Amino acid sequence: MLRKWDLQLSLDRSGGLPAHLQIAQQISADIQRGRLPPGASLPGSRELAAQLGINRKTAVLAYEELAAQGWLLTQGRRGTFVAPTLPLLSPRPTPAVARIAQATTRAESRFIDFGDGVPDSRLIPFDVLGRAYRRALIAAARAGRLAYGDPRGELGLRQALAEMLDMERGLNADAERICVVRGSQMGIYLAGRALLRPGDAVALDALSYPPAREAFRSLGARPLDVEQDAAGMRPDALERLCLSQPVKAVYLTPHHQYPTTLMMPAERRLQLLALSYHYGFTIIEDDYDHEFHFSRSPVLPMASLDAAERIIYVGSLSKVLAPGLRVGYMVAEPAIIERCAADIMLIDRQGNAVTELAVAELMHSGELKRHIRRALRVYATRRQTLAAALDRELAGLANYTLPEGGLALWLRLPPWTDMRRLLADAAEAGVKALPGGAFSGDGGDIPALRLGFGALEAEQLEQGVARLARALRRQIPAAGLRSS
């Protein structure tokens, strides 16, 4: 499609707003003014970069940000176009309607929820996913595969997962050692059912994933918190627990510790694995967001060290695509997989065959990998935006370690912080974040916040941090009085 005119964009190179965000703002403004109508073709990233004298990566980031916000639609080799359905009212409303719309928009954007670190579902390549679903539905219907199937999941998806886990994560996996589940939470629950009996002890980090703790508790097991440090669960603390009583399972999130986001070093992983052999417990390794890693050489899962003899490995594709798609998987010895399949027969019978076939196609075609690369660039930019806002607004008052991966950041607050007051003041200012105490077994006050950044745009991240900073600074005088 030929464009009737060229984009007229200008960049302020004085060091203010990043170039890709300047481009995104100008293009979205042109769309809102009607200068770029729905379906209009935009220049390719190389052409735009050459026109503006910038790096092509900057142009790509601008387009990805606009696609995430719903302004643009990328259609593979065809190019990039203005989305047919825009996020704001179109055509242009009357002034009275515009004032109402602007007031509504301000009211909707007034409250900023950092959330738990969920992905931005707007980044999904809906056109690609839709075509995969259509082909999967037709193929499944013609092959008579819409009837009851294997409770372990579609063979095609298990084979695609096995290839991915072998090539990218070092797991010696095959289709017989994989069970497809509806997200990692189901995998955690099934792993607990396979290992635990009422009264059994299961160890977790002192700060851990609350739904995992509750899943084990629902099975009649006894979740026991183990001291952790910057490297994760402390082996000496776990060994003391094992000496005091039998421990049947240990739940870990070593790749990006939940909720602190820190990565467990290789030495610590080997120490914990050695303890599992010595004391006979099984490790449930929850690798809930392995794909979202910003380092060029991510650490391989613990299960890659072990051939799954002492580890049940749980992963998910839900965060890669969208949480609502509910596609996860487990890797374990065949006997455990068979036990999990039997439980699925009782509670769910099987997963969604069409979804599983569609995801398998996306994996085989390379579309899933391409989507991950595109999404990672957006998330990396948002991570830096959040870090810059924290450095600007909370320097000397709070601190953090920039996460190597994941879609959240763990903000450590001053020890004098009144967390209840902070959350109340923050809510009054129009911002919400998860407090550290939400992740502890006893719910005690912990001066920390988990800030998700994956689903928030740059302006929301900056405003959210500014509001949190104002709420926290309201406590400084009282803290000074207490310390005097």
Q: Nearest CA to 326 among 117, 162, 181? A: 181
| pLDDT tier, 385 (very low <50, low <70, confident <90, very high otherwise) | very high
CA distances from 65 to 49, 70, 96, 471 (A): 16, 9, 30, 29
- pLDDT (average), residues 356-371: 88
Choice among 215-219, 233-237, 243-247, 301-305 with the minimum mean pLDDT? 301-305
Average pLDDT score, the chain = 86
pLDDT for 96: 38
User: In terms of C-beta density within 10 A (0-12 exposed, 13-18 middle, 19 or more buried), how is residue 377 classed?
Assistant: middle
Cα end-to-end distance, the chain, whole Å: 71
Give the E-state strand segments of 266-424 in sequence order: 282-287, 311-316, 328-331, 399-400, 408-412
Q: Would the pTM count as exceeding 0.75?
A: yes
- How do residues 258-279 score in pLDDT, each as one tens digit? 999 999 999 999 999 999 999 9
Check pLDDT > 60 for residue 365: yes
Check pLDDT > 50 for residue 108: no
The counts of H helices and E strands in the chain are 16, 18
- pLDDT (average), residues 200-227: 97
Choice among 72-86, 230-244, 424-438 with the minimum mean pLDDT? 72-86
Check pLDDT > 60 for residue 4: no
CA atoms within 13 A on the CB side of 404: 14
Choice among 107-116, 190-199, 411-420 with the minimum mean pLDDT? 107-116
Query: Dihedral angle at the C-alpha atoms of 78, 82, 86, 87, nearest 10 degrees?
Result: 100
- pLDDT (average), residues 203-221: 97
Phi then psi for residue 234, to 5 deg, are: -80, 120
pLDDT for 328: 92
Residue of higher predicted confidence among 109 and 285: 285
* Number of C-beta neighbours around residue 100 at 10 A: 13
- pLDDT (average), residues 408-428: 95
| pLDDT tier, 87 (very low <50, low <70, confident <90, very high otherwise) | low
CA distance 341 to 329: 12
* Number of C-beta neighbours around residue 236 at 10 A: 11
pLDDT for 144: 64
- How do residues 11-26 score in pLDDT, each as one tens digit? 877 656 778 888 988 8
CA distance 83 to 155: 36
